[in-house]
Structure 1
Amino acid sequence: MAKQSKDEETTAQGEKEEATSYHGDILESVFTHVPLIDLVAASHVSKSWKRAVSTSLRHFNKIKPWLLLHCQATRSPYSTTAYAYDPRSRVWLQIHHPPIKYISALRSSHSTLLYMLSPSKFSFSFDPLHLTWHNVDAPLVWRTDPIVAVVGHRVIVAGGACDFEDDPLAVEMYDLKTRTWDTCESLPAHFKDSAASTWLSIAVSDNKMYVAEKSTGVSYCFDPETKSWYGPYSLRPHGNVCSSAIGFANDHLILICLIGDDHGEEVTSVKLWELTGASFELCRQIGEMPKQLVEKLRGDFCSMSSAVINVMGDFVYISKTSAPEEVVFCEFSDGACRWSSVRNAVVNDQCRLTERLVFTCANVGLGDLQRAIVAQDRQFAVL
């Protein structure tokens, strides 16, 4: 009788494990269709659910970078509301976060970096959801529109100097390890009339920063180790390119070009090129924006100075500063470009009139969301 009970127990246990495994497979499939933010709560239901969430993210979905929009009021107390578009789930989220200690207007000139700069203070954040802010002394040179980027453990601040400064091309670098500023070789003389983030585009690799003039495509490379510039490189494919921007997508330097008509008055197409070679002399066209999406970006969209470009992973996001109601994006997949657009659920006429809009881009994972909710008291709401 005891042996029979033991056999029955073994059989029941086997059936239970089989059912659990089958149940787990179903859960994994279901979780691939659940917004990432909802998977945070799901992962706390039980150990089996946590495993199913982890497996679904690992096997069924690659990371797709979020587009983050920060809307800062233009009047005191300059409060900011943050939003995010999750392309995996195709939803807009509102992020409720603790108040930020403001020292000046929010800015961003690099995909993940958000910063504020005053004559005495420099505050910046580069983690995916901007949970941590670094507050340090301002660089020695006062700047109004610099290019700012994080390369490794260094923050580079270049150009954008005020008219009364001796060197408008000055470059300074903050070391996150030593917490000190250092001066570097100034921007190349070619940028003397365009040394501001309005006219320059930047791309950051693991150890270098690339700066390109939007109107000409002339580019230089900055090495934080030597504190020196290298180049120039001409990033201009054949064709009537009226403006361009650069960015790194999966370790490949990408050139986004606005192609104009014969008079240079209207954009007729937007093309993407991959740049290779020691001096980026090899260009391979990898995609072209469909005509119907180009139409959505017309108007004053005649140069990259009126566009916001965010490049990360397999994605390129393109929007207009003057009319950000529509965001066009391109996803690289299996050697092809898939274009689409999403209605900006955040922007309306009131928002444009009373708020400053700042875009960043970041790879947001389940761990980032868990830290934001548990440790940083963030709240997320699907719009």
Structure 2
Amino acid sequence: MGVGIQAQEPKHRRQGQEEREADGAADSSALAALYLYGDVLESVVDRVPAADLAATAGVSREWLRAVRSALRRRPRRLPWLVVHLHGRSRRRTAAYDPHSGAWLTVHAPRHATPSHVRLVRGARGDRVCALSLSGLDVAGDPLGTSACVAMRAPRVWRVDPVLAAVGDRVVALGGACQLALAEGEDAAAVEVHEGGSWTACDPMPAALRESAAATWLSAAATDQRVYLADRTTGWASWFDPSKRRWGPTRRLGQDAGVSSWGVAPGRAGAERLVLFGAKRQGEGAESRVVIQAWEVDGDDLDLSTHDDTMPSEMSARLFPRDEDEEDEEELAPSIGVCGNATGGYVYNAAELCNGAVLYELRSGEKGSAVERWEWVPCAPAVRAEPMGRAILACSPVGLDELARGLRPVSSRRACTDKH
């Protein structure tokens, strides 16, 4: 009868198995270390550029859910600056992420917004659009990468209107073509799109009729109203599309030295505006541009008692002096503004290549409106094609929009740009 004896494994086989078990334990420990939770995950997400976060969509559903959850708990507060550039050959879009201080290039698909676009101001983000005799096509996202939302064209043919999205309504104000006006129609006509059709409303107030076009008006949209201000005179009013009525008309700026005015939404909560004014101070070599900001009560259009002034080194970069033309009269500064209830951007409307200045609004009720200012370099695409037509917009940008196709152009912080 045979005796059963447990075979003994060769020494080299046992050693290999032990090494594999040790390696497996090390891999498990390393894998476990990759899982981030709670404050640790939020701390990591807070430091990762938005374009890199967008790449998480292709990693795993678990990681994507974790990042989205962390962003909901600690959202990135400031809106992006989006530049839609129309060059000699094609349309390009660049987006500035204020969190990472980087410009990114947007890859627009073939079905994106047509090449010749206008802008629709909105509290939830500006959108580009295409206006024609047959319709109004509005981009489905702030970067203009998704298919457009199509609607009928306004009844009055307009060549340079102010367009705004207020809640679920779209408003067309002024900009009518004088040659195409029918009997009884007004160049300052106002229409509201709701439920698939346009409704005519009272035209613009008398103080805004001489400047009833997007070229001459600064516009800001909130969830309840669209605000208009004459860029040159400072006269302003608001329109409520749900009630189809205009508010008071007032001259916001009393400083006769200001040559350019701009408005943007104010701090969240009650209806508020931020008013910006640019003027030259001094003469000759001492001449400099001063840019100030005031908070405005949205109901009666009263200005706050105190103002904020942009740092002089930033306004000097927006409006640099030409040392070769000291004997000639310097041009009056012209500013552009876009923003939302958390902050926005001020820029030289005549020279977009000079860059922009980011402003952040205070979250509290008391104190001045602007908490800080930060320099933003010019988008590389604009610098490469300075003769192109550029439209500047402001909007929050989420992971879904980024995942549709962004690549970083420069990862350097904005303050390191010396051009």
TM-score class normalised by the smaller sequence: 0.7 to 0.9
| Structure 1 position 102, deviation (Å) | 6.3
User: Relative to structure 1, is the Cα distance of residues 49 and 237 closer, same or farther in structure 2, using a 3 angstrom cutoff?
Assistant: farther
User: Equivalences for 1:1-383 in 2 at 5 Å?
Assistant: 23-24=36-37, 25-42=39-56, 45-46=59-60, 49-50=63-64, 52-54=66-68, 56-58=70-72, 62-74=76-88, 79-100=90-111, 105-108=116-119, 110=121, 112-125=126-139, 127-130=141-144, 131-164=146-179, 165=181, 166-175=185-194, 178-236=195-253, 240-251=257-268, 252-261=272-281, 268-276=289-297, 278-298=299-319, 302-304=332-334, 307-325=335-353, 326-333=355-362, 337-348=371-382, 351-353=385-387, 355-369=388-402, 373=403, 378-383=404-409
Q: Is the CA contact 1:202–1:247 (under 8 Å) kept in the aligned structure 2? A: yes
| Structure 1 position 168, deviation (Å) | 0.8
Number of the residue aligned with 1:9: none
User: Relative to structure 1, is the Cα distance of residues 47 and 226 closer, same or farther in structure 2, using a 3 angstrom cutoff?
Assistant: closer
- Distance in 2, matches of 1:273 and 1:174, equals 32
Which TM-score applies when normalising by structure 2? 0.75
Q: Is the CA contact 1:27–1:49 (under 8 Å) kept in the aligned structure 2? A: no
User: Relative to structure 1, is the Cα distance of residues 43 and 96 closer, same or farther in structure 2, using a 3 angstrom cutoff?
Assistant: closer
- Distance in 1, matches of 2:150 and 2:66, equals 40
| Structure 1 position 188, deviation (Å) | 1.4
| Structure 1 position 120, deviation (Å) | 2.6
User: Relative to structure 1, is the Cα distance of residues 174 and 293 closer, same or farther in structure 2, using a 3 angstrom cutoff?
Assistant: same
Q: Is the CA contact 2:262–2:277 (under 8 Å) kept in the aligned structure 1? A: yes
- Distance in 2, matches of 1:284 and 1:21, equals 53
> Is the partner of 1:37 in helix, strand or coil?
helix
| Structure 1 position 179, deviation (Å) | 0.9
Q: Is the CA contact 1:267–1:301 (under 8 Å) kept in the aligned structure 2? A: no
Residue type matched to 2:99 in 1? R
| Structure 1 position 259, deviation (Å) | 2.8
Q: Is the CA contact 2:174–2:187 (under 8 Å) kept in the aligned structure 1? A: yes
> Is the partner of 1:108 in helix, strand or coil?
strand
Residue type matched to 1:351 in 2? E
User: Relative to structure 1, is the Cα distance of residues 162 and 104 closer, same or farther in structure 2, using a 3 angstrom cutoff?
Assistant: farther
> Is the partner of 2:165 in helix, strand or coil?
strand
Q: Is the CA contact 1:301–1:320 (under 8 Å) kept in the aligned structure 2? A: no
Residue type matched to 1:339 in 2? W
> Is the partner of 1:192 in helix, strand or coil?
helix
Which TM-score applies when normalising by structure 1? 0.81
CA RMSD of aligned residues (A): 3.1
- Percent identity of equivalent pairs: 31
User: Relative to structure 1, is the Cα distance of residues 120 and 311 closer, same or farther in structure 2, using a 3 angstrom cutoff?
Assistant: same
Q: Is the CA contact 2:120–2:164 (under 8 Å) kept in the aligned structure 1? A: yes
Residue type matched to 2:265 in 1? F
- Distance in 2, matches of 1:60 and 1:286, equals 30
- Distance in 1, matches of 2:151 and 2:63, equals 43
Q: Is the CA contact 1:308–1:319 (under 8 Å) kept in the aligned structure 2? A: yes
Q: Is the CA contact 1:68–1:83 (under 8 Å) kept in the aligned structure 2? A: yes
- Distance in 1, matches of 2:263 and 2:236, equals 10
| Structure 1 position 341, deviation (Å) | 1.3
User: Relative to structure 1, is the Cα distance of residues 320 and 40 closer, same or farther in structure 2, using a 3 angstrom cutoff?
Assistant: same
Q: Is the CA contact 1:160–1:196 (under 8 Å) kept in the aligned structure 2? A: yes
Moved more, 235-244 or 219-228: 235-244
Describe the superposition over 1:99-136 as per-residue Cα deviations: whole angstroms up to 9, x where unpaired: 24766721125260312222333222363333241223
- Distance in 2, matches of 1:278 and 1:319, equals 27
| Structure 1 position 30, deviation (Å) | 2.7
Residue type matched to 2:229 in 1? A
Segments of 5+ residues of structure 2 without an aligned counterpart are 1-24, 321-329, 410-419
> Is the partner of 1:190 in helix, strand or coil?
helix
Report how many residues are paired: 352
Residue type matched to 2:350 in 1? S
Q: Is the CA contact 1:239–1:259 (under 8 Å) kept in the aligned structure 2? A: no
User: Relative to structure 1, is the Cα distance of residues 195 and 245 closer, same or farther in structure 2, using a 3 angstrom cutoff?
Assistant: same
User: Relative to structure 1, is the Cα distance of residues 253 and 281 closer, same or farther in structure 2, using a 3 angstrom cutoff?
Assistant: same
Q: Is the CA contact 1:32–1:61 (under 8 Å) kept in the aligned structure 2? A: no
| Structure 1 position 347, deviation (Å) | 3.7
Q: Is the CA contact 2:280–2:333 (under 8 Å) kept in the aligned structure 1? A: no
- Distance in 2, matches of 1:382 and 1:359, equals 19
Residue type matched to 1:352 in 2? P
Describe the superposition over 1:318-343 as per-residue Cα deviations: whole angstroms up to 9, x where unpaired: 22343222122112346653212122
Describe the superposition over 1:139-196 as per-residue Cα deviations: whole angstroms up to 9, x where unpaired: 2222111111011111111111122224111111212xx2111111111122221111
User: Relative to structure 1, is the Cα distance of residues 320 and 242 closer, same or farther in structure 2, using a 3 angstrom cutoff?
Assistant: closer
| Structure 1 position 60, deviation (Å) | 5.1
Segments of 5+ residues of structure 1 without an aligned counterpart are 1-11
- Distance in 1, matches of 2:41 and 2:242, equals 48
| Structure 1 position 301, deviation (Å) | 6.8
> Is the partner of 1:110 in helix, strand or coil?
strand
Q: Is the CA contact 2:208–2:235 (under 8 Å) kept in the aligned structure 1? A: no
Q: Is the CA contact 2:338–2:393 (under 8 Å) kept in the aligned structure 1? A: yes
User: Relative to structure 1, is the Cα distance of residues 237 and 132 closer, same or farther in structure 2, using a 3 angstrom cutoff?
Assistant: farther
- Distance in 2, matches of 1:37 and 1:144, equals 37
Moved more, 217-226 or 59-68: 59-68
